[in-house]
Amino acid sequence: MKLMIVGGVAAGATAAARARRLDENASITIIEKGPYVSFANCGLPYRLSGDIAKRSALILQTAEGFFSRYRVDVALKTEALAIDRANKTLLVRSPEGERRVPYDKLILAQGGTPFVPKIEGVDSPNVFRLWTIPDMDAIDKYIAANGVKSAVVVGGGFIGLETAEAFMKRGLATSIVELTDQLMPPADFEFGAQIAAAFAEAGAAVRVKRSLAKIDAANRVAILDDGTAIPADLILMSAGVRPNTELAKAAGLTIGASGGLLVDDGLYTNDPDILAAGDMVEVTRRVDGAKVRIPLAGPANRQGRIAATNALGGSMKYSGALGTSVFKAVDYTFAQTGLSEKAALAAGLKVRAVHVHRPHHASYYPGHNLLSLKLVYGEDGKLLGAQAFGKEGVEKRIDVLATALAARMSLSDLAELDLSYAPPYSSANDPLQMAAFAAQNDLSGYSNIIAPREASLMAAGTAGSDAVFVDVRTFGEYLKGHLAGAIHIPLDELRDRADELPKGARLILVSVAGFEGHLGSRLLKQIGFADVAYVSGGITSMRLFGGFTEEEGEPQA
């Protein structure tokens, strides 16, 4: 058995090691065009920032190490140029020249390439990308040699943002330029807003709805589409990644609608002797079965393992990915799993969502931080996705919710989860259970919610509603900022003062974070107010959408 693997990082290196564990006699070769095999690309921003002290920590395995441990031949600086499927050979080019190598089974694990838009000045020596160790070395060297004081990161996805943080840690005045209306475009808007606030708090200049028009390297400025010139001693292009499918396409392998290489659940391409894994393939989104690309390290590693098993005669199935991810937003963490609300809507699903902002552990135990959590669910009560943001406990909730999604749990399953609890870690009802309760109450009609985006539009007067806002916060909270025209009755006075509310009107209760709105709505419903809802996530969530003005001080007479 001759197993040939093209690409030697996450998926490729995993496939090679797994193949050896399965078959001591197979001939296994990795063809890798770069100078390193099995390096930690996810660690690059953290080495650039200095968080990872040693560059060598990023090199997980060398070609020599691969050979001595696994007897895997690694051909570095060797590029696969063409696949001859009829004769089962691969044409490769190394510094020594071109040659043809035979295979019995071929695994493609070529990953993707950052997309660099063709704009004026993009070839200047101060423009970089961060994808490989040589990319990182080049940035490092340029910063040290050129007295770099400012940096512009083009693209507000997770690689751009992690690198922006690294630049800030190195003392560079950093701007982030993002084309869409939010940072972290796959997330829902309100989380993009929280991430932007985290970067702004750390000193970054965040510019959304802007694109890079031109680079003037001589004057060390980047010129945006609105004509603004921003200091740019160094520019990082991080505007998206495209799958490396040219080799596969030229060999007549089928490409999926998402642009990734099409594979079945055994990770076979349309050629039974060629399998593929990692960032280059199209996968099944586990929540709704859509065919998408989910370019993340976890799926790449697991696919590499499965592809190797099947190449050597096994029959493992890949069940698809949820897109669970986590990233460090300076002093905060953002994580998500499954579908965001906008991804669900784009997929044509009828969805609802709840927001909660709760202490990450018992509020009476010192050191709690606010955790924002959103659950996205179907009208049938099935969980579809979740996002969370905060300083602590974020990824713990998202990993539980990822497991719940994999098990196709419903809101009532979530509500009943038996999770660990002691005051330093959580609350007797974990924030994710509080969110599940709120979602159940919403679906059953026990306590209806209104989405914070909708409430913000209504408060801005653009949603054309004659609903009445009832602010149930304390007097102190109300004085600091309230919606114009809102009736203010603190929750603890609501029972006695309910007759001040207009009968027959639609009432929308606004509280700090939603929970007191729910309490008020239950009270009002029981004393005869029929049309009552509360803003999910309260004014905390509404402020993330913005667009409305808040008055300060006493109510106007």
Ligand X SMILES: Cc1cc2nc3c(=O)[nH]c(=O)nc-3n(C[C@H](O)[C@H](O)[C@H](O)COP(=O)(O)OP(=O)(O)OC[C@H]3O[C@@H](n4cnc5c(N)ncnc54)[C@H](O)[C@@H]3O)c2cc1C
Stretch that binds ligand X, among 18-26, 40-48, 460-468, 518-526 (CB under 6 A): 40-48
How many whole angstroms separate alpha carbon 297 and alpha carbon 279? 8
Shortest Cβ 320–ligand X spacing (Å): 16
In the range 272-311, which residues lie near ligand X by CB under 6 A? 278-279, 295-298, 300
Tally helices (H) and strands (E) across the chain. 17, 32
Closest CB to ligand X among 238 and 540? 238
Q: Is 328 in the site for ligand X (CB under 6 A)?
A: no
Shortest Cβ 157–ligand X spacing (Å): 10
Shortest Cβ 267–ligand X spacing (Å): 12
Q: Find the residue with minimal CB distance to ligand X.
A: 278
Residues 78-107 vs ligand X: string with x where CB under 6 A? -xx---------------------------
Token couple for 450: 């209104």
How many whole angstroms separate alpha carbon 411 and alpha carbon 381? 6
Length of the chain measured in residues: 557
In the range 226-265, which residues lie near ligand X by CB under 6 A? 244, 247
How many whole angstroms separate alpha carbon 174 and alpha carbon 154? 11
Q: Which of 109, 261, 351, 535 binds ligand X (CB under 6 A)?
A: 109
Closest CB to ligand X among 340 and 511? 340
Q: Is 7 in the site for ligand X (CB under 6 A)?
A: yes
42 is catalytic: yes
Annotated catalytic residue, options 23, 27, 34, 42: 42
| Per-residue CA distances from 235 to 115, 121, 127, 148, 200 (Å) | 14, 11, 5, 11, 19
How many whole angstroms separate alpha carbon 110 and alpha carbon 33? 10
Closest CB to ligand X among 48 and 455? 48
How many whole angstroms separate alpha carbon 279 and alpha carbon 97? 28
Q: Which of 12, 160, 393, 537 binds ligand X (CB under 6 A)?
A: 12
| Cβ–Cβ < 8 Å for 203, 228 | no
How many whole angstroms separate alpha carbon 438 and alpha carbon 497? 26
Distance of CA 135 to the CA centre of its chain: 23
Closest CB to ligand X among 78 and 447? 78
Q: Is 133 in the site for ligand X (CB under 6 A)?
A: no
Q: Is 432 in the site for ligand X (CB under 6 A)?
A: no
Closest CB to ligand X among 137 and 551? 137
Per residue, what are the HEC states of 264-286?
Answer: CCCCECCCCCEEECCCCECEEEC
Q: Is 52 in the site for ligand X (CB under 6 A)?
A: no
H-helix or E-strand containing 488?
strand 487-488
Shortest Cβ 292–ligand X spacing (Å): 14
How many whole angstroms separate alpha carbon 442 and alpha carbon 236? 44
Closest CB to ligand X among 7 and 192? 7
Distance of CA 556 to the CA centre of its chain: 44
Token couple for 500: 């001040």
Closest CB to ligand X among 303 and 427? 303
DSSP 374: E
Q: Which residues bind ligand X (CB under 6 A)?
A: 6-7, 9-12, 31-34, 41-42, 44-45, 79-80, 109-111, 130-131, 159, 244, 247, 278-279, 295-298, 300, 325
Q: Residues with catalytic annotation?
A: 42
